[in-house]
């Protein structure tokens, strides 16, 4: 019935003729910096997005265009290409070559990409509308009249289509992207009816997208950052035309800013949970500035399901929540619709920093790729937590998660500036009838992080199940096994020394990878392999006093 009503609304909307203006009615400015290096690579014919890099090339007399069709790259990478995410990077490059590349790609998309099913998806069309309007001066202001008319005609067509598709079906940030574009199109095309409809839907979307503690529903620091950028743009669009924003909008922005502070390590960039990468600390600062953020980072996001332990210069961020809800992918395009589209099997994993040095990390993500690397980085083994029987705590699917932890319990005690967490998840119950229990204690001086990981079975027997606890180390960290001491010596870039010791497990140092930045880097991981029949492993990461202390 919902699909029938949506189709009827789309048909009725298309009956009304719309004027195609020569240019947007109001000036728009994209607020966020691009990456000039990525822009330069695109001038060379390669688009990088979400950890995936594939050719994006306009057609020539010798070869057809590349990048728009189903065979040209992974689904989410192509969605980014059709969404014109590349305009920001070409603008950052700012050369004549960059302008020519932007216009050539836009021309080619109009000729060869616009008819693709993926290009019509509301979240993809919405991203494209925002990109075109935000970069109009860069892309089109000095272009020929025919090119400008063709772009404006497409903005009108896309704007009408996404208005008829509201409210968006996706449970993730894509719905917010769609609604933002509807507001932008209404302002650019001077369509007050469109604006009124979008503003009526905005309060409900805010409630659907953000938890009361300010965290985004996808539980991903990267997606949270992008969603907060969307909110700031929406606020500016509404204020720009003198309209009245929903009363809830400034409150959601304020809470989302505080949640963004929660995700930051002391080096200024973001923690690596659920499809996230470090992101630029400069961008995070800019978003907080435009969000008019006040106050300090909260110590927990109770509704989102994360805890922050901080003592002196040591910071520990812990995933203490169940994965977000899923949904079947869109039948027409295959795009994921659930809030778990980027979710990892990293429940109860943690990251640790000392000052500006990251020490224990998760491995990062390449969310727009397909196949082995994407799933390897989403697996439990790519996170700093317990892995039972070489199995992930959640089932990895292309559109999100299948089997997953359903109940995550957490208890927190703070006393004399020390922190204690007791955690449990049931992600292994269905396959092994087992629970993972984790205890974490951070001493008041920050020099001692202690933990205990346990596998709990109904009969108490664990002989038949092998399990390990993994601590992935940042690439800047140097590590060396200390023979006979059941420990690993860790040296930070600052020169400070730390030691990881364990009881009930064999300690080893293995290779790992880190994909928190723009490219894969080799790193190491400490692996605690539980001794046969052992139900719990106790470990500690402690600072080694410097000479003279």
Interstrand relation of 497-503 and 408-415 (parallel, antiparallel or unpaired): unpaired
pLDDT at 461: 67
pLDDT at 1: 47
pLDDT exceeds 60 at position 15: no
Q: Is residue 107 part of a domain?
A: yes
**404 & 529 share domain:** yes
Rounded Cα distance between 102 and 259, Å, is 35
Average pLDDT over residues 514-524: 93
Inter-residue contact 442 to 421 (CB < 8 Å):
no
The DSSP secondary-structure symbol of 275 reads S
Rounded Cα distance between 240 and 494, Å, is 47
**382 & 486 share domain:** yes
- Of 209, 233, 268, the residue that ends a domain is 209
Average pLDDT over residues 482-488: 80
Span 82-137, pLDDT tens digits: 999 999 999 999 999 999 999 999 999 999 999 999 999 999 999 999 999 999 99
| Phi (first) and psi of residue 291, to 5 degrees | -80, -5
**187 & 314 share domain:** no
Rounded Cα distance between 523 and 514, Å, is 6
Indicate which CATH number applies to the domain containing 518: 2.70.98.70
**186 & 314 share domain:** no
Average pLDDT over residues 280-289: 96
Q: Is residue 133 part of a domain?
A: yes
Average pLDDT over residues 238-264: 96
Q: Tell me which residue of 384, 392, 391 sits closest to 472, measured CA to CA.
A: 384
Which of 375-389, 438-452, 461-475 is predicted least confidently? 461-475
- Of 209, 225, 253, the residue that ends a domain is 209
pLDDT exceeds 60 at position 371: yes
Average pLDDT over residues 449-460: 89
pLDDT at 412: 97
Q: Is residue 223 part of a domain?
A: no
Q: Is residue 271 part of a domain?
A: no
Say which residues have a Cβ less than 8 Å from residue 76's Cβ, sequence separation at least 6.
50, 52, 335, 367, 368
**353 & 205 share domain:** no
**183 & 315 share domain:** no
Inter-residue contact 209 to 311 (CB < 8 Å):
no
pLDDT exceeds 90 at position 27: no
Which of 122-131, 164-173, 457-466 is predicted least confidently? 457-466
pLDDT exceeds 80 at position 55: yes
pLDDT at 49: 96
Average pLDDT over residues 508-513: 97
pLDDT exceeds 80 at position 302: yes
Collapsing DSSP to helix, strand or coil, 248 comes out as helix
Residue range(s) defining the domain that contains residue 509: 305-325+338-544
In this prediction the pTM is: 0.95
Span 207-244, pLDDT tens digits: 999 999 999 999 999 999 999 999 999 999 999 999 99
pLDDT exceeds 80 at position 183: yes
pLDDT exceeds 80 at position 6: no
Span 387-409, pLDDT tens digits: 999 999 999 999 999 999 999 99
Q: How many domains does the chain have?
A: 2
Q: Is residue 463 part of a domain?
A: yes
Rounded Cα distance between 504 and 525, Å, is 18
Q: Is residue 109 part of a domain?
A: yes
pLDDT exceeds 70 at position 17: no
pLDDT at 483: 75
Q: Is residue 295 part of a domain?
A: no
pLDDT at 93: 98
**367 & 476 share domain:** yes
- Of 164, 190, 209, the residue that ends a domain is 209
Q: Is residue 298 part of a domain?
A: no
**28 & 153 share domain:** yes
Which of 9-13, 49-53, 117-121 is predicted least confidently? 9-13
Rounded Cα distance between 210 and 252, Å, is 8
Which residue do the tokens 């940042």 mark? 474
């Amino acid at each position: 019935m919902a699909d029938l009503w949506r189709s009827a609304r789309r048909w009725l909307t298309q009956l009304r003729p719309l004027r195609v203006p020569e240019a947007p009615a109001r000036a728009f400015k994209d607020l966020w910096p691009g990456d000039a290096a990525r822009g330069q690579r695109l001038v060379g014919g390669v688009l990088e997005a979400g950890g995936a890099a594939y050719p994006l090339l306009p057609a020539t007399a010798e070869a057809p265009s590349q990048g728009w069709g189903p065979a040209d790259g992974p689904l989410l990478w192509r969605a980014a290409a059709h969404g014109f995410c590349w305009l920001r990077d070409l603008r950052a490059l700012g050369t004549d070559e960059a302008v020519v590349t932007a216009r050539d790609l836009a021309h080619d998309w109009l000729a060869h990409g616009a008819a693709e099913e993926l290009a019509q998806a509301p979240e993809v069309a919405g991203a494209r509308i925002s990109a075109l309007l935000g970069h109009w001066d860069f892309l089109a202001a000095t272009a020929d009249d025919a090119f400008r008319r063709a772009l404006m005609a497409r903005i009108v067509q896309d704007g009408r289509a996404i208005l008829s598709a509201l409210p968006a079906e996706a449970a993730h940030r894509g719905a917010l992207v769609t609604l933002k574009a509807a507001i932008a199109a209404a302002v650019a095309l001077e369509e007050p009816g469109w604006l009124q409809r979008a503003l009526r839907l905005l309060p409900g979307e805010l409630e659907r997208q953000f938890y009361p503690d300010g965290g985004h529903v996808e539980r991903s620091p990267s997606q949270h950052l992008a969603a907060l950028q969307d909110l700031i743009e929406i606020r500016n669009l509404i204020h720009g035309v003198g309209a009245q924003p929903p009363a809830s909008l400034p409150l959601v922005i304020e809470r989302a800013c505080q949640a963004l502070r929660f995700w930051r390590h002391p080096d200024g960039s973001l923690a690596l949970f659920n499809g996230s990468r470090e992101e630029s600390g400069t961008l995070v600062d800019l978003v907080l500035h435009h969000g008019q953020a006040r106050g300090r980072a909260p110590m927990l996001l109770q509704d989102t399901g994360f805890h922050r332990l901080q003592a002196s210069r040591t910071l520990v961020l812990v995933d203490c929540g169940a994965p977000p809800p899923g949904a079947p992918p869109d039948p027409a395009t295959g795009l994921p619709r659930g809030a778990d589209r980027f979710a990892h099997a990293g429940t109860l994993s943690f990251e640790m920093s000392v000052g500006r040095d990251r020490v224990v990390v998760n491995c990062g993500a390449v969310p727009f790729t397909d196949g082995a690397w994407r799933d390897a980085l989403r697996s439990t083994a790519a996170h700093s937590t317990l892995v039972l029987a070489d199995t992930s705590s959640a089932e990895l699917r292309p559109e999100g998660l299948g089997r997953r932890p359903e109940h995550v319990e957490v208890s927190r005690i703070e006393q004399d500036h020390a922190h204690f967490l007791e955690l449990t998840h049931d992600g292994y119950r269905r396959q092994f009838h087992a629970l993972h229990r984790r205890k974490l204690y951070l001493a008041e001086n920050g020099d001692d992080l202690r933990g205990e990981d346990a596998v709990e079975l109904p009969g108490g027997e664990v002989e038949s199940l092998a399990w390990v606890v993994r601590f992935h180390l940042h690439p800047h960290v140097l590590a060396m096994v200390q023979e006979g001491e059941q420990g690993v010596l860790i040296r930070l870039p600052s020169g400070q020394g730390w030691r990881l010791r364990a009881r009930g497990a064999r300690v080893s140092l293995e290779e790992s990878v880190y994909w928190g930045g723009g490219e894969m880097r080799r790193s190491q991981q400490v692996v605690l392999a539980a001794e046969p029949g052992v139900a719990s492993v106790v470990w500690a990461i402690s600072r080694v006093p410097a000479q003279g202390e």
